[in-house]
Amino acid sequence: MEEVRIAVDVMGGDEEPQVVLDGIDAALAADAALTVLAVGPEEIVAPFAESRPRVEALVAPDVIDMADDPIKAVMSKRKSSIVVACRAVKKGTAQGFFSAGATGAITAAATAYVTPFKFEEAGELHPLRPCLTSAVPNRAGGLTVFCDLGANPDVEPGDMLRFAQMGAAYARVVCGIAKPRVGLLSNGTEDTKGSHFTKECFALMRDVLDGFAGNCEGSDIVSGSYDVVVADGFAGNVALKATEGAAKFILSELKGALLGSLKGKIAALLIKNDLAAIKEKLSGDAKGGAILLGLRGVVLIGHGATSVEAVKNGTLATAEAVRAGLIESIVEAVGTIAR
Protein backbone atom coordinates (compact mmCIF):
# COMPACT_ATOMS: atom_id res chain seq x y z
CA MET A 1 0.00 0.00 0.00
CA GLU A 2 1.09 3.56 -0.73
CA GLU A 3 2.71 5.40 2.21
CA VAL A 4 0.42 8.19 3.46
CA ARG A 5 0.89 10.90 6.11
CA ILE A 6 -2.27 12.13 7.85
CA ALA A 7 -2.57 14.91 10.44
CA VAL A 8 -4.99 14.08 13.26
CA ASP A 9 -6.39 16.71 15.65
CA VAL A 10 -5.75 15.38 19.14
CA MET A 11 -7.99 18.08 20.66
CA GLY A 12 -11.02 17.42 18.39
CA GLY A 13 -14.27 16.05 19.76
CA ASP A 14 -16.17 16.01 23.02
CA GLU A 15 -14.05 13.37 24.74
CA GLU A 16 -10.62 13.42 26.43
CA PRO A 17 -7.59 13.51 24.07
CA GLN A 18 -6.82 9.95 25.21
CA VAL A 19 -9.78 8.73 23.13
CA VAL A 20 -8.22 10.30 20.03
CA LEU A 21 -4.79 8.85 20.88
CA ASP A 22 -6.32 5.37 21.24
CA GLY A 23 -8.09 5.91 17.91
CA ILE A 24 -4.76 6.80 16.26
CA ASP A 25 -3.20 3.62 17.68
CA ALA A 26 -6.07 1.57 16.28
CA ALA A 27 -5.68 3.21 12.85
CA LEU A 28 -1.90 2.56 12.83
CA ALA A 29 -2.52 -1.09 13.69
CA ALA A 30 -4.98 -1.40 10.81
CA ASP A 31 -2.85 0.39 8.17
CA ALA A 32 0.88 -0.47 8.04
CA ALA A 33 1.64 2.23 5.46
CA LEU A 34 0.13 5.04 7.54
CA THR A 35 2.09 7.73 9.37
CA VAL A 36 0.17 10.07 11.69
CA LEU A 37 1.07 13.63 12.60
CA ALA A 38 -0.50 13.99 16.04
CA VAL A 39 -1.44 17.68 16.33
CA GLY A 40 -1.98 19.19 19.78
CA PRO A 41 -0.34 20.52 22.95
CA GLU A 42 3.27 19.42 23.47
CA GLU A 43 2.62 17.60 26.76
CA ILE A 44 0.15 15.33 24.96
CA VAL A 45 1.67 14.76 21.52
CA ALA A 46 5.41 14.62 22.42
CA PRO A 47 5.28 11.59 24.77
CA PHE A 48 2.77 9.89 22.44
CA ALA A 49 5.08 10.26 19.42
CA GLU A 50 8.23 9.29 21.26
CA SER A 51 7.38 5.64 21.70
CA ARG A 52 5.77 5.18 18.24
CA PRO A 53 7.86 4.98 15.06
CA ARG A 54 4.94 5.97 12.79
CA VAL A 55 3.78 8.96 14.82
CA GLU A 56 5.25 12.46 14.63
CA ALA A 57 4.36 15.23 17.05
CA LEU A 58 3.14 18.52 15.60
CA VAL A 59 2.92 20.95 18.48
CA ALA A 60 -0.13 23.28 18.66
CA PRO A 61 -0.63 24.87 22.08
CA ASP A 62 -4.03 26.53 21.37
CA VAL A 63 -7.42 24.87 21.27
CA ILE A 64 -10.53 25.98 19.34
CA ASP A 65 -13.58 24.60 21.04
CA MET A 66 -17.20 24.12 19.98
CA ALA A 67 -18.33 27.36 21.66
CA ASP A 68 -15.85 29.62 19.84
CA ASP A 69 -16.99 31.80 16.96
CA PRO A 70 -15.46 29.89 14.00
CA ILE A 71 -13.98 32.73 11.96
CA LYS A 72 -12.76 34.78 14.93
CA ALA A 73 -11.20 31.68 16.50
CA VAL A 74 -9.35 30.76 13.30
CA MET A 75 -8.05 34.34 12.93
CA SER A 76 -6.92 34.71 16.54
CA LYS A 77 -5.80 31.20 17.45
CA ARG A 78 -3.12 30.64 14.85
CA LYS A 79 -1.40 28.03 16.99
CA SER A 80 -4.52 25.96 17.46
CA SER A 81 -4.44 22.31 16.41
CA ILE A 82 -6.92 23.01 13.58
CA VAL A 83 -4.92 25.88 12.04
CA VAL A 84 -1.55 24.15 12.51
CA ALA A 85 -2.86 20.96 10.87
CA CYS A 86 -4.36 22.86 7.91
CA ARG A 87 -1.03 24.59 7.34
CA ALA A 88 0.73 21.24 7.39
CA VAL A 89 -1.61 19.99 4.64
CA LYS A 90 -0.96 23.10 2.53
CA LYS A 91 2.82 22.72 2.96
CA GLY A 92 2.58 19.05 2.06
CA THR A 93 3.92 17.85 5.42
CA ALA A 94 0.63 15.96 5.67
CA GLN A 95 -1.52 14.76 2.76
CA GLY A 96 -4.77 14.89 4.68
CA PHE A 97 -6.31 16.08 7.95
CA PHE A 98 -8.86 14.43 10.22
CA SER A 99 -10.57 16.25 13.10
CA ALA A 100 -13.71 15.70 15.15
CA GLY A 101 -13.64 19.38 16.12
CA ALA A 102 -16.11 22.17 15.33
CA THR A 103 -17.30 21.99 11.70
CA GLY A 104 -17.46 25.78 11.30
CA ALA A 105 -13.89 26.33 12.55
CA ILE A 106 -12.46 23.50 10.45
CA THR A 107 -14.24 24.84 7.35
CA ALA A 108 -12.95 28.36 8.01
CA ALA A 109 -9.38 27.20 8.70
CA ALA A 110 -9.31 24.81 5.74
CA THR A 111 -10.59 27.55 3.43
CA ALA A 112 -7.98 30.01 4.69
CA TYR A 113 -4.99 27.66 4.92
CA VAL A 114 -5.50 24.52 2.81
CA THR A 115 -7.17 26.88 0.27
CA PRO A 116 -9.70 25.97 -2.43
CA PHE A 117 -8.83 25.39 -6.07
CA LYS A 118 -9.71 28.18 -8.46
CA PHE A 119 -12.02 27.76 -11.43
CA GLU A 120 -12.23 29.84 -14.56
CA GLU A 121 -15.42 31.63 -15.54
CA ALA A 122 -15.67 34.23 -18.30
CA GLY A 123 -11.89 34.54 -18.36
CA GLU A 124 -11.55 35.20 -14.61
CA LEU A 125 -10.40 32.98 -11.76
CA HIS A 126 -12.60 32.45 -8.67
CA PRO A 127 -12.06 30.20 -5.64
CA LEU A 128 -14.29 27.11 -5.44
CA ARG A 129 -16.70 27.10 -2.52
CA PRO A 130 -15.73 24.19 -0.25
CA CYS A 131 -18.65 21.76 -0.22
CA LEU A 132 -19.41 19.72 2.92
CA THR A 133 -20.16 16.21 1.75
CA SER A 134 -21.11 12.94 3.39
CA ALA A 135 -21.93 9.40 2.29
CA VAL A 136 -25.11 8.17 3.99
CA PRO A 137 -26.43 4.59 3.96
CA ASN A 138 -29.54 4.06 1.86
CA ARG A 139 -32.43 1.59 1.72
CA ALA A 140 -30.92 -0.20 -1.27
CA GLY A 141 -28.01 -1.25 0.93
CA GLY A 142 -25.57 1.18 -0.69
CA LEU A 143 -24.37 4.71 -0.02
CA THR A 144 -25.75 8.04 -1.22
CA VAL A 145 -23.41 11.01 -1.42
CA PHE A 146 -25.15 14.09 -0.02
CA CYS A 147 -23.86 17.67 -0.37
CA ASP A 148 -23.69 20.58 0.54
CA LEU A 149 -24.49 19.85 4.17
CA GLY A 150 -24.25 23.43 5.34
CA ALA A 151 -21.03 25.17 4.34
CA ASN A 152 -22.73 27.52 1.83
CA PRO A 153 -26.27 28.73 2.63
CA ASP A 154 -26.33 31.12 -0.36
CA VAL A 155 -24.97 30.02 -3.73
CA GLU A 156 -25.31 30.51 -7.48
CA PRO A 157 -26.44 27.84 -9.98
CA GLY A 158 -22.81 27.53 -11.13
CA ASP A 159 -21.78 26.63 -7.57
CA MET A 160 -24.47 23.96 -7.47
CA LEU A 161 -23.16 22.49 -10.73
CA ARG A 162 -19.65 22.30 -9.26
CA PHE A 163 -21.02 20.73 -6.02
CA ALA A 164 -22.71 18.11 -8.19
CA GLN A 165 -19.50 17.47 -10.17
CA MET A 166 -17.45 17.17 -6.97
CA GLY A 167 -20.06 14.96 -5.29
CA ALA A 168 -20.07 12.67 -8.32
CA ALA A 169 -16.25 12.48 -8.26
CA TYR A 170 -16.42 11.50 -4.58
CA ALA A 171 -19.05 8.85 -5.36
CA ARG A 172 -16.84 7.38 -8.10
CA VAL A 173 -13.49 7.48 -6.35
CA VAL A 174 -14.39 6.86 -2.69
CA CYS A 175 -17.69 4.94 -2.91
CA GLY A 176 -16.79 3.01 -6.07
CA ILE A 177 -19.93 3.94 -8.02
CA ALA A 178 -18.89 3.87 -11.68
CA LYS A 179 -21.64 6.10 -13.14
CA PRO A 180 -23.31 8.06 -10.33
CA ARG A 181 -26.91 9.20 -10.87
CA VAL A 182 -27.08 12.79 -9.60
CA GLY A 183 -30.37 14.15 -8.22
CA LEU A 184 -31.11 17.83 -7.55
CA LEU A 185 -32.89 18.18 -4.18
CA SER A 186 -36.30 19.72 -4.83
CA ASN A 187 -39.89 19.79 -3.61
CA GLY A 188 -40.97 16.98 -5.93
CA THR A 189 -39.46 14.70 -8.56
CA GLU A 190 -41.25 16.14 -11.61
CA ASP A 191 -39.14 18.29 -13.95
CA THR A 192 -41.46 21.25 -13.32
CA LYS A 193 -40.96 21.24 -9.54
CA GLY A 194 -38.60 23.53 -7.68
CA SER A 195 -38.02 27.09 -6.54
CA HIS A 196 -36.92 29.78 -8.99
CA PHE A 197 -33.37 29.01 -7.87
CA THR A 198 -33.45 25.22 -8.31
CA LYS A 199 -35.20 25.61 -11.67
CA GLU A 200 -32.16 27.58 -12.88
CA CYS A 201 -29.89 24.87 -11.46
CA PHE A 202 -32.00 22.20 -13.20
CA ALA A 203 -31.63 23.87 -16.60
CA LEU A 204 -27.87 24.22 -16.18
CA MET A 205 -27.36 20.64 -14.96
CA ARG A 206 -29.55 19.18 -17.69
CA ASP A 207 -27.33 20.86 -20.27
CA VAL A 208 -23.88 20.07 -18.92
CA LEU A 209 -23.84 17.56 -16.02
CA ASP A 210 -22.87 13.94 -16.73
CA GLY A 211 -25.25 11.56 -14.96
CA PHE A 212 -27.89 14.20 -14.18
CA ALA A 213 -31.02 12.30 -13.12
CA GLY A 214 -33.40 15.23 -12.54
CA ASN A 215 -35.16 16.45 -9.42
CA CYS A 216 -35.34 14.34 -6.28
CA GLU A 217 -37.09 14.75 -2.90
CA GLY A 218 -36.04 14.79 0.75
CA SER A 219 -36.88 11.10 1.03
CA ASP A 220 -34.36 10.30 -1.73
CA ILE A 221 -31.41 10.98 0.56
CA VAL A 222 -31.94 7.43 1.83
CA SER A 223 -34.09 5.88 -0.93
CA GLY A 224 -31.18 4.54 -2.98
CA SER A 225 -32.74 5.87 -6.22
CA TYR A 226 -29.90 8.42 -6.59
CA ASP A 227 -26.17 8.04 -5.92
CA VAL A 228 -25.58 11.75 -5.34
CA VAL A 229 -28.09 14.26 -3.94
CA VAL A 230 -27.04 17.88 -4.37
CA ALA A 231 -28.47 20.89 -2.53
CA ASP A 232 -27.42 24.34 -1.42
CA GLY A 233 -26.03 24.42 2.13
CA PHE A 234 -29.30 25.72 3.55
CA ALA A 235 -31.63 23.03 2.18
CA GLY A 236 -28.93 20.39 2.64
CA ASN A 237 -28.47 21.23 6.30
CA VAL A 238 -32.23 21.32 6.91
CA ALA A 239 -32.67 17.90 5.28
CA LEU A 240 -29.72 16.36 7.11
CA LYS A 241 -30.91 17.60 10.51
CA ALA A 242 -34.49 16.55 9.77
CA THR A 243 -33.22 13.05 8.97
CA GLU A 244 -31.20 12.95 12.19
CA GLY A 245 -34.14 14.29 14.21
CA ALA A 246 -36.52 11.68 12.80
CA ALA A 247 -34.04 8.91 13.58
CA LYS A 248 -33.63 10.09 17.18
CA PHE A 249 -37.39 10.36 17.57
CA ILE A 250 -38.13 6.87 16.30
CA LEU A 251 -35.40 5.21 18.33
CA SER A 252 -36.58 6.99 21.50
CA GLU A 253 -40.22 6.05 20.78
CA LEU A 254 -39.15 2.47 20.25
CA LYS A 255 -37.15 2.44 23.48
CA GLY A 256 -40.12 3.89 25.35
CA ALA A 257 -42.48 1.31 23.87
CA LEU A 258 -40.12 -1.57 24.65
CA LEU A 259 -39.42 -0.58 28.24
CA GLY A 260 -43.13 -0.01 28.92
CA SER A 261 -44.03 -3.69 29.15
CA LEU A 262 -42.51 -6.98 30.25
CA LYS A 263 -42.93 -8.41 26.74
CA GLY A 264 -41.16 -5.35 25.41
CA LYS A 265 -38.30 -5.66 27.89
CA ILE A 266 -37.72 -9.24 26.79
CA ALA A 267 -37.82 -8.13 23.14
CA ALA A 268 -35.38 -5.31 23.91
CA LEU A 269 -32.87 -7.84 25.29
CA LEU A 270 -33.28 -10.02 22.23
CA ILE A 271 -32.66 -7.22 19.71
CA LYS A 272 -30.16 -5.10 21.64
CA ASN A 273 -27.35 -5.76 19.15
CA ASP A 274 -29.57 -5.18 16.11
CA LEU A 275 -30.67 -1.80 17.47
CA ALA A 276 -27.06 -0.81 18.18
CA ALA A 277 -26.16 -1.78 14.59
CA ILE A 278 -28.98 0.38 13.17
CA LYS A 279 -27.92 3.32 15.34
CA GLU A 280 -24.33 2.89 14.16
CA LYS A 281 -25.44 2.75 10.53
CA LEU A 282 -27.45 5.95 10.96
CA SER A 283 -24.67 7.87 12.65
CA GLY A 284 -23.67 9.19 9.21
CA ASP A 285 -20.05 8.09 9.51
CA ALA A 286 -20.18 5.54 6.72
CA LYS A 287 -17.01 7.08 5.32
CA GLY A 288 -15.51 8.35 8.57
CA GLY A 289 -17.24 11.73 8.57
CA ALA A 290 -18.03 14.66 6.32
CA ILE A 291 -15.42 15.74 3.78
CA LEU A 292 -14.77 19.25 2.47
CA LEU A 293 -14.57 19.01 -1.32
CA GLY A 294 -12.92 21.67 -3.45
CA LEU A 295 -9.76 22.13 -1.36
CA ARG A 296 -6.12 21.42 -2.25
CA GLY A 297 -6.01 18.58 0.28
CA VAL A 298 -8.24 16.01 1.97
CA VAL A 299 -9.99 17.42 5.07
CA LEU A 300 -12.39 15.11 6.91
CA ILE A 301 -14.60 16.17 9.81
CA GLY A 302 -15.79 13.51 12.26
CA HIS A 303 -18.81 13.69 14.56
CA GLY A 304 -18.17 15.66 17.75
CA ALA A 305 -19.38 12.68 19.79
CA THR A 306 -16.02 10.95 19.46
CA SER A 307 -15.14 7.31 20.13
CA VAL A 308 -11.97 5.29 19.58
CA GLU A 309 -13.69 3.53 16.68
CA ALA A 310 -14.80 6.84 15.13
CA VAL A 311 -11.26 8.30 15.26
CA LYS A 312 -9.83 5.10 13.80
CA ASN A 313 -12.39 5.10 10.96
CA GLY A 314 -11.96 8.80 10.27
CA THR A 315 -8.19 8.55 10.11
CA LEU A 316 -8.30 5.50 7.83
CA ALA A 317 -10.95 7.14 5.60
CA THR A 318 -8.74 10.22 5.22
CA ALA A 319 -5.83 8.01 4.13
CA GLU A 320 -8.16 6.07 1.80
CA ALA A 321 -9.32 9.30 0.10
CA VAL A 322 -5.70 10.40 -0.41
CA ARG A 323 -4.69 7.04 -1.90
CA ALA A 324 -7.79 6.94 -4.13
CA GLY A 325 -6.65 10.20 -5.73
CA LEU A 326 -9.75 12.13 -4.66
CA ILE A 327 -8.14 15.56 -5.11
CA GLU A 328 -7.01 14.74 -8.66
CA SER A 329 -10.45 13.40 -9.53
CA ILE A 330 -12.08 16.60 -8.26
CA VAL A 331 -9.80 18.66 -10.49
CA GLU A 332 -10.76 16.49 -13.43
CA ALA A 333 -14.50 16.54 -12.65
CA VAL A 334 -14.73 20.34 -12.41
CA GLY A 335 -13.38 20.86 -15.89
CA THR A 336 -12.73 24.57 -15.43
CA ILE A 337 -10.22 24.30 -12.57
CA ALA A 338 -6.93 26.10 -13.14
CA ARG A 339 -4.37 24.24 -11.00
How do strand 124-127 and strand 298-301 relate by DSSP bridges? unpaired
> 3-class DSSP state for residue 319?
helix
Regarding 198 and contact with its own copies (CB under 8 A), the answer is yes
Interaction of residue 195 with its own copies, rule CB under 8 A: yes
138 sits near its own copies (criterion: CB under 8 A): yes
281 binds its own copies (CB under 8 A): yes
Closer by beta carbon to its own copies, 210 or else 253? 253
Residue 191 Cβ, how far from its own copies at the closest point, in Å?
12
Which of 151, 295, 329 has its CA nearest to residue 231?
A: 151
Vertex 117, ends 198 and 218: CA angle to 5°?
30
CA angle 230, 231, 235 (to 5 degrees): 150
Q: Which of 46, 249, 325, 328 touches its own copies (CB under 8 A)?
A: 249
Nearest 5°: phi and psi at 251?
A: -65, -35
72 binds its own copies (CB under 8 A): no
Please say which residue, 176 or 188, places its beta carbon nearer to its own copies. Answer: 188
For its own copies, which residue of 252, 325, 328, 332 counts as binding (CB under 8 A)?
A: 252
Query: Nearest Cα to 58, choosing from 25, 34, 80?
Result: 80
Site membership for its own copies, residue 185 (CB under 8 A): yes
* CB atoms closer than 10 angstroms to residue 197: 15
* Sign of the torsion formed by the C-alpha atoms of 163, 168, 169 and 174: positive
Does 278 bind its own copies (CB under 8 A)? Our answer is yes
C-alpha distances out from residue 238 to 167, 250, 339, Å: 18, 18, 33
| Under 8 Å between Cβ of 330 and 117 | yes
At its nearest, how many Å lie between its own copies and the CB of residue 115? 24
Does residue 233 interact with its own copies by CB under 8 A? Answer: yes
Any contact of residue 231 with its own copies (CB under 8 A)?
A: yes
Q: Is there binding between residue 239 and its own copies (CB under 8 A)?
A: yes
Chosen residue from 254, 304, 309, 324 binding its own copies by CB under 8 A: 254
Interface positions with its own copies (CB under 8 A): 138-139, 150, 153-154, 185-188, 193-196, 198, 217-223, 231-235, 237-254, 257-258, 260-261, 263-264, 266-268, 270-271, 274-275, 277-278, 281-282
